[in-house]
Amino acid sequence: MILPKMPNFNLEGKRALVTGASSGIGIGCACALASSGAEVTLAARSLPKLKELHDEMNSKGWSSHILQLDIAEPKQIFEKISGDKAFDILVNSAGMGRHSNALDTTVEDFDAVMNVNLRGAYFITQAVAKNLVKEEKAGSLINISSQMAHVGGIDRSVYCASKFAVEGFTKAMALEFGPNKIRINTICPTFILTPMTQQTFDDPEKRAWINSKIKLDRVGEVEDIMGAVLYLASDASSLVTGSSLLVDGGWTAD
């Protein structure tokens, strides 16, 4: 009998780009990839935070580089990514939310959220995919979406719209990129305890709502995303594309 061989989670020799790498989930994703052997380029707007992360990661013997990038500006994406050597892995963790009742949504808030969560996600994915196609390389593209891409949320009409759209273009791109051996998927976390979400968790009413929806009876931690991103980035998920990996503690199971 020939036993099946365990798929490889090792990322040695792979180049990875992580956007939104300066905080929260982005830091977790960068550490997951780097600790598994990938050479990780850390991209975000905040240069001081990137330098701090870069120094901490390199002190562990991991390989990382810094790229100051605002994905809300397509011109920056085209200039800084399009002419670069292809990345084998993309993790787009850059995102933002401006939550309000739908009746109170302003054009400014709508555009700000869409420019990052949708337009930025779309064109960073396009830029990385173009380089892979040009170099005839396989790759894994991962967008950090949200459980709110599968359900509605009070005061989150714009945010939900942006994330539902990410799910849509991910599936369409999976069909187009498949023949090039380029996989594209999303990770959809529940509320993860980060500096960006701390204000929500500090509100007793909102905290109670979150706790009532998460069936595993605990909030999400950054570490909960790390295994998911390693799985999708590695050969262990070589037949997975156009999919959403929900890390939501059972929120969407209702």
Sign of CA dihedral 97, 100, 101, 107: negative
**Residue 113: what pLDDT?**
95
Cα torsion at 193, 232, 121, 95 (round to 10°)?
Answer: 0
Beta strands in the chain (DSSP E): 15-19, 39-44, 63-68, 89-92, 139-144, 182-189, 244-247
Beta bridge partners of 141: 90, 184
Q: Which 3 state secondary structure label does DSSP give 227?
A: helix
**Residue 204: what pLDDT?**
86
Mean pLDDT of residues grouped by 10 in the chain (254 residues)?
A: 92 97 94 97 94 95 96 94 91 89 91 96 97 97 94 89 97 98 97 82 85 88 96 97 96 89
> Which sequence spans correspond to the domains of the chain?
15-253
Catalytic residue from among 87, 123, 159, 251: 159
**Residue 101: what pLDDT?**
86
End-to-end CA distance of the chain: 43
CA nearest 126: which of 139, 112, 109, 107? 139
**Interatomic CA distance for residues 33 and 35, integer angstroms:** 6
**Interatomic CA distance for residues 71 and 112, integer angstroms:** 12
Is 159 annotated in the active site? yes
Q: What is the pTM assigned to this prediction?
A: 0.94
Number of neighbours of residue 221 by Cβ within 10 angstroms: 12
**Interatomic CA distance for residues 146 and 199, integer angstroms:** 18
**Residue 68: what pLDDT?**
96
**Interatomic CA distance for residues 111 and 117, integer angstroms:** 10
**Burial category of 236 from C-beta neighbours within 10 Å (exposed 0-12, middle 13-18, buried 19 and up):** middle
Select the CATH number that applies to the domain covering 15-253 from these four: 3.30.300.30, 3.40.50.720, 3.40.50.300, 3.30.2350.10: 3.40.50.720
